[in-house]
Amino acid sequence: MSFKKHLIISTLVRVFLIYYGEVQDSLSDVQYTDVDYRVVTDGANHVLALGSPFKRHTYRYTPLLAYLVLPNLLLHPSFGKFIFSLFDILIGVLIKWILLNCYRSNKISIETKLLKLETLNNRNKYLIKRKNEILNSNNESLPPKYIRMAELSAYCWLYNPLTMIIATRGNGDCVSCSLVLLSIYFLLKNEQTSTQHFIAGLFLGLSIHFRLYPIGFCLAFYLATQNRTVEKWHDIVRTILQPNAKQIALVLGTVIALGSSTALFYWLYGYQFLYESMLYHLVRKDTRHNFSLYFYLQYLSSTFDVTILEKILTFLPQLILILMLTVRYGQHRQTLAFGLFAIAFVMVTYNPVVTSQYFVWFLSLLPLCVKNFRNIGIRKAVFIPVMWFISQGGWLLPAYLLEFKGWNTFEFIWIQSIVFFFSNVLILQMLISNYDIAYNYKID
């Protein structure tokens, strides 16, 4: 089957899930539709009345999300779910485009080096012409097996039941994920011009406006655009203080997109926008729907103010890991995708608040790394997702009993949060140890 047919099938599956969700919502106490979808729709209702979406209690998103689901009120209540599902499909398409570009870039690099050697020994006009064609072309044909690998990686997203359910329940995180992938696509394009880096910065800044987590990718994006390899920590400082044209364009695009969108909505909605959509997430507590290792600590201290020392000790481990992963994988274009995946994985695992929609942050990046895990083996390839889902299921059971049955299962949820945390740490360790840092393929 062609890739287009798979896109149609995966789209139809999502449409089915949306309509199934409406049936479940009407028959069951356990609602299929995400509570956040109702919050965003209520926010859109305030916008439609020329008011602020933040008048809706617990609306803590960018106002753009409320604008995006305005058709919920004008056309159909589930219209926003269809919009989010389209972004969900777009992620699958972007995964294929990025990987094809990576393969094509490597093919051009290999052929250029070979032709350079041949040209040095033989000043043949054909070889010189062929070299120039390669350097100026971004559409070099690839062997079918590499196109197939890019498509299979996209299917890992398109047919992932977890991501399909999250999008069709009405969660908008797929919007920020698609913006992150668009920024990666333009950053890694073969032309390597300042214009494309400026566009990559625009998408990166917009993704940060939607969700704060891509701010952890900024240093990796910046280092991947440098002309030299960073070997020591003082080299990072030198790179920051002596940026090249592409880095300046990247930073400029990010600042313009993030700054203009933030300034616009601050002008429209004031400090309430700034606090609810950004600052709140730095001090947020969630004592009922939280996979985090810090869940029970937040529950026991819910009536106390968070101290500065507590916030430092909470965020310091992930900050150190993010810096280490950035320097290890973020400074090379070939390993940037895995570096971003590992950074997102750490941010979710170590975050004080972890909900199921956060998982799409790293799941949208994982398919970009599949080609580098060919040596992981069948046993580990099966063990990793099975362990991940089982550790989640162990948490969901006591959480369900707490939420819907009113049982006091806080301690059981805490124990399962610990299990889930260490499962994630083990999974990341296994993926890092089995990741082939070099491109795990050869161009025939």
What gap in Å lies between CA 370 and CA 377, rounded to an integer?
12
249: Cα separation from own chain's centroid:
22
User: Per residue in 324-333, pLDDT tens?
Assistant: 999 889 888 8
What gap in Å lies between CA 316 and CA 346, rounded to an integer?
12
Mean pLDDT of 271-280: 88
User: Per residue in 236-258, pLDDT tens?
Assistant: 777 777 888 899 999 999 999 99
Does 251 fall in a domain?
Answer: no
pTM score, two decimals?
0.88
Percent of residues, the chain, with pLDDT higher than 70: 86
Annotate 144-182 with b (16+ C-beta within 10 A) or e (fewer). Answer: eebbebbbebbbbbbebeebbbbbbbbbbbbbbbbbbbb
- For residue 64, the number of C-alpha atoms closer than 13 Å in the C-beta half-sphere is 18
Residue 355 in contact with residue 286, Cβ under 8 Å?
yes
What gap in Å lies between CA 93 and CA 181, rounded to an integer?
10
Does 419 fall in a domain?
Answer: yes
Does 392 fall in a domain?
Answer: yes
Does 126 fall in a domain?
Answer: no
**Nearest by Cα to 173 from 36, 32, 269:** 36
Query: Which has more confidence, 405 or 194?
Result: 194
Per-residue confidence at 428, pLDDT binned at 50, 70, 90? Answer: very high
Between 410-433 and 336-349, two packed helices, what is the crossing angle to 10 degrees? Answer: 160
Measured at the alpha carbon of residue 268, what is the angle toward residues 267 and 270, in degrees to the nearest 5?
65
Does 374 fall in a domain?
Answer: yes
Does 271 fall in a domain?
Answer: no
What gap in Å lies between CA 193 and CA 39, rounded to an integer?
42
Between 3-27 and 161-168, two packed helices, what is the crossing angle to 10 degrees? Answer: 60
Q: How many CB atoms lie within 10 A of CB 140?
A: 15
Does 82 fall in a domain?
Answer: no
Indicate if the pLDDT at residue 266 is higher than 80.
yes
Residue 410 in contact with residue 296, Cβ under 8 Å?
yes
Does 172 fall in a domain?
Answer: no
What gap in Å lies between CA 440 and CA 93, rounded to an integer?
22
157: Cα separation from own chain's centroid:
12
Number of domains in the chain: 1
User: Per residue in 213-223, pLDDT tens?
Assistant: 999 999 999 98
What is the residue range of 316's domain? 286-443
User: Per residue in 130-170, pLDDT tens?
Assistant: 555 554 554 456 678 888 889 999 999 999 999 999 999 99
User: Per residue in 58-105, pLDDT tens?
Assistant: 899 999 999 999 999 999 999 999 999 999 999 999 999 999 988 877
